[in-house]
Amino acid sequence: MQSRLPILIFAALMAAIPFVPGMPPFWIVLLDNIGLTALVAMGLVLLTGVGGLTSFGQAAFVGFGAYTTALLTTAYGLSPWLTLPLSLVVSGLLAVLLGLVTVRLSGHYLPLGTLAWGLGLFYLFSKLEFLGRNDGISAIPPLSIGTFRMLSPGSIYFAIWVAVILSALLTMNLLDSRTGRAIRALRRGHVAAEAFGVHTPRAKLLVFIHAAVLAGLSGWLYAHLQRAVNPTPFGAQAGIEYLFIAVVGGAGYVWGGVLGAAIVVILKEVLQSYLPLILPGSGQVETIVFGILLVALLQLAPGGVWPWLMSFLPERTAGRKPDTSLKLEARPRPPGQSNVLLQVEKARKQFGGVVAVNNVSFEVQAGEIVALIGPNGAGKSTTFNLITGVLSASSGSISVLGRKVDRAPPQEIVKLGISRTFQHVKLVPDMTVLENVAIGAHLRGHSGPLASMLRLDRADEAKLLAEAARQIERVGLADQMHQLAGSLSLGQQRIVEIARALCVDPMLLLLDEPAAGLRHMEKQQLAKLLRDLRDGGMSVLLVEHDMGFVMNLADRIVVLDFGTKIAEGTPATIKTNPEVIKAYLGVAA
């Protein structure tokens, strides 16, 4: 849990600024503009820096908030305070409509898509008669509390900065939660997140709406600060500038959005005010200098100014260990050792003319360790992907406890008690080991985003973190619990992936090359852990190239070669199988 003391100090400082003797009114106006910009940049921090979704269209949502309150207060006489929820709802609903289309895009299509509708909406603002076309809407009433009317920049200053600080708190609360971990996992791709039950389109849409609502709040405040709106501030150039501000401040940090807004707004104002005095008659030279200075700044701090500044502070002390006495509800285990947990029947996967898995059949029973071995390119990881729903089988069937899952998505398969690790480690490097492992317990938590923002999820969150801490201790990484996952060795990261998979409380654990990168003693500890899991009733299906590790651990071995099963049996049988020796272990003497 993050300390709230720095936020309280910052809030007290911002509250005191207007009362500083001799404070020029111009600086209050500048701080108002910084606050309005920071709200939009904060949303982009969550959307782009945390969620990995690049958007050039956030200025349009500022326009939605501004035009909603401008129209309702001038044409229909509504109180500005009544239009606040309406402005946020309009921004949120339009974000749902645009997001349902946009967030499904990937690669360069996503930013291009946001740029396209950003341009289209700017054009729409300037052509609609009831919005005043290019002239916009004027005579917007000011915010007021009783007889106090916020007519000046100094009087609305507090409303703006209260909104900024509250929005920052709510956003940080969201990130420090079950929902926030799901959002942060999106940056590493959807495969790992979905393997633990995260519904990625829903998570992307959520972060898209959150960013849009913050932009709509900025627009609402802007309309009552300026008391007039027109399309100019809501065009594509403004959308690009907002994204640039988030990147300059630090795209993965909430307060980076505030710092980026301060840097860019102040720098623009200084250049526009003083550069013409130094270079008279030079036209828009301040734009060129502004661009050069920002590029130089990003060269100095490529990750953003906020993390660069934080790097000079002493490292944070280790976080508090969760209370591991708290328990999540355990998954019921199938009775007996003879139950077939997983049955793969003539599974086939074809990519065009290439057959990766060719009519493979095998089963995994309750309480056993089965190894899937074969040379590189034999189809082992593809088989794992078929079992966990990452890929759909071209033909054949895959069943879990008699239920067919060969067309089920990963989120449904993990609900049945199947969890996995990956051939190439898929952790979020800038999250702690504890946070990464807690993603595995995603489906075992219940609190939603609103509860998280309002801090009503603490009991649920404590149980999830307790489960993650228990699994970390179980795999022997208790001392690394609060370290960033990216700082660990490759072997340790693989162990972290196992702990994350165990947080599912699985019936069947799929491990893809778990011993790769481990030293001899670490392999022995891993083998002991897997035997303990088996003895506790959990089944394990593993892919591994270390034959000594496999032969001393597995109850049964399935051998693939060029996507086809060539042998199945006990380790003793496989050791002497001529086909296996020829295809995998070496040519028989």
How many whole angstroms separate alpha carbon 315 and alpha carbon 313? 6
91 touches 65 (CB < 8 A) = yes
| DSSP 8-state secondary structure symbol assigned to residue 238 | H
240 touches 48 (CB < 8 A) = no
Q: Give the pLDDT of residue 298.
A: 74
In the chain, residues under CATH classification 1.10.3470 are: 26-270+277-310
How many whole angstroms separate alpha carbon 155 and alpha carbon 48? 33
How many whole angstroms separate alpha carbon 131 and alpha carbon 396? 59
- Taking only the tens place, the pLDDT of each residue in 64-110 is 999 999 999 999 999 999 999 999 999 999 999 999 988 888 778 88
| CATH code of domain 340-417+506-585 | 3.40.50.300
The answer on pLDDT for 15 being more than 80 is yes
Q: Give the pLDDT of residue 133.
A: 92
| DSSP 8-state secondary structure symbol assigned to residue 313 | S
- Strand 539-543's sheet: what is its strand order? 418-420, 508-512, 539-543, 369-373, 556-561, 564-569
Crossing angle of the two packed helices 254-278 and 153-175, in degrees rounded to 10: 140
| CATH code of domain 26-270+277-310 | 1.10.3470
How many of the other CB atoms lie within 10 Å of CB of 81?
Answer: 11
In the chain, residues under CATH classification 3.40.50.300 are: 340-417+506-585
- Taking only the tens place, the pLDDT of each residue in 126-141 is 999 999 999 999 999 9
The answer on pLDDT for 318 being more than 70 is no
Which tokens belong to 297?
């700044």
Which tokens belong to 203?
């998570």
Residue 162 — very low, low, confident or very high, per pLDDT cuts 50/70/90?
very high
The answer on pLDDT for 588 being more than 50 is no
